[in-house]
Amino acid sequence: MAGVAESAAEFDAQSHRTGIALEPSALGPILEVPLLRDQHAADLLAKLREGEPFPYGTGRWRCFPVAELHETADAGLWASGRGGRELWKGGSFDQFEPHGADVRPIPASDAVLAKARKKRPGGGSLLAEDLTVAERAAVVAREIERPRVAFRDVTNRTNARTLLAALVPPGTFLTNKAPYLAFTDDRPSDRMACLALMNSLPFDWQARRFVETNVNFFILEGLRLPELSDETYDRLAELAGRLSCVDDRYADFAASLGVEHGPLAPEERERMRVEIDALAATAWRLTADELELVLSDFTLDAVPEAYRERLRAHHAELAERALA
């Protein structure tokens, strides 16, 4: 294949070159051709995609995406502007930040709850082969009142970050612009380890090879996650849980994880995010050069130089520890 061309001249030049050789694992689930600039990126993508498909976690959990309420088709359910709950959309959160911007009131009416419970959720998921309709519906019914891992549907591979996921507060409803993940096993640590990997730089880099304007369910389920050691799994869950439990709305969830809840200083949030990225890079067995390739895909506004330096140092420390 040829790499991504940004002009007619570049396209013409690429057409006369040998091209980029792809390992089969670098292709999408139905052999979609990824967006790659050179052979180094192709080799890295193949390496990142050696693990389990996203719905099967890292071999530790299973989950499937769900769109709760449709922005247009279900708008009549909240058109009155009255209601005792909040309706969140994609712009209501950022990575690990459930800031709640631009929310709307919505009643917890029988009609809304019926829509949220879903009759046949996850029908297009890879897990549809493993779970009956009734089993998937039971998972969704359990998730509705709990804190949920949601992600933005509308995005772009050229954005500062492409994958934007957060733990939304309990008792909120979500539009289809903020789909959430329904986890088959009711373990808070699974949700947080998954959230940590979703918001990590290596996972974002992998997603950018396939995302154009939306993180649709098919693209998400086609992405891969690495195998995690018990120590890495526990630490990722702990870090993501502490980052996500920003106030009293998450007190019960934080207690179930064994972490504190409440605001964190910006310096502490950055330290924890650096550790998540270093752990993710180590789980994917990235070398120092491969980490640099990942970082090169992000602007300095998205990932400042000081953050990069801290990440390089922590990644090197983890690599030395693994060799000891």
- Rounded CA-CA distance 312/310 in Å is 6
Question: For residues 183 and 192, is the Cβ–Cβ distance under 8 A?
Answer: no
- Rounded CA-CA distance 58/229 in Å is 10
Is residue 206 situated within a structural domain?
yes
Question: For residues 60 and 39, is the Cβ–Cβ distance under 8 A?
Answer: no
Q: What is the pLDDT along the chain (324 residues), one digit of tens a residue?
A: 876 788 999 888 888 888 888 888 888 878 888 988 889 999 999 999 999 999 999 999 999 999 999 999 999 999 888 888 999 999 999 999 999 998 999 999 999 999 999 999 999 999 999 999 999 999 999 999 999 999 999 776 667 899 999 999 999 999 999 999 999 999 999 999 999 999 999 999 999 999 988 899 999 999 999 999 999 999 999 999 999 999 999 999 999 999 999 999 999 999 999 999 999 999 999 999 999 999 999 999 999 999 999 999 999 999 888 776
What are the DSSP calls for 39-57, one per residue? HHHHHHHHHHTTSEEGGGT
- Rounded CA-CA distance 295/156 in Å is 17
pLDDT of residue 169: 97
Is residue 11 situated within a structural domain?
no
Is residue 14 situated within a structural domain?
no
Is residue 6 situated within a structural domain?
no
Instruction: Give the number of domains in the chain.
Output: 1
pLDDT of residue 146: 94
Is residue 7 situated within a structural domain?
no
- Rounded CA-CA distance 215/196 in Å is 17
Is residue 109 situated within a structural domain?
yes
- Rounded CA-CA distance 247/147 in Å is 12
The residues pairing with 87 across neighbouring beta strands, listed in sequence order, are 104, 173
Considering only CA atoms, which of 113, 118, 31, 11 is closest in space to residue 67?
A: 118
pLDDT of residue 182: 97
What pTM was estimated for this model as a whole?
0.94
The SS3 assignment for 90 reads: helix
The range of the structural domain enclosing residue 99 comes to 19-323
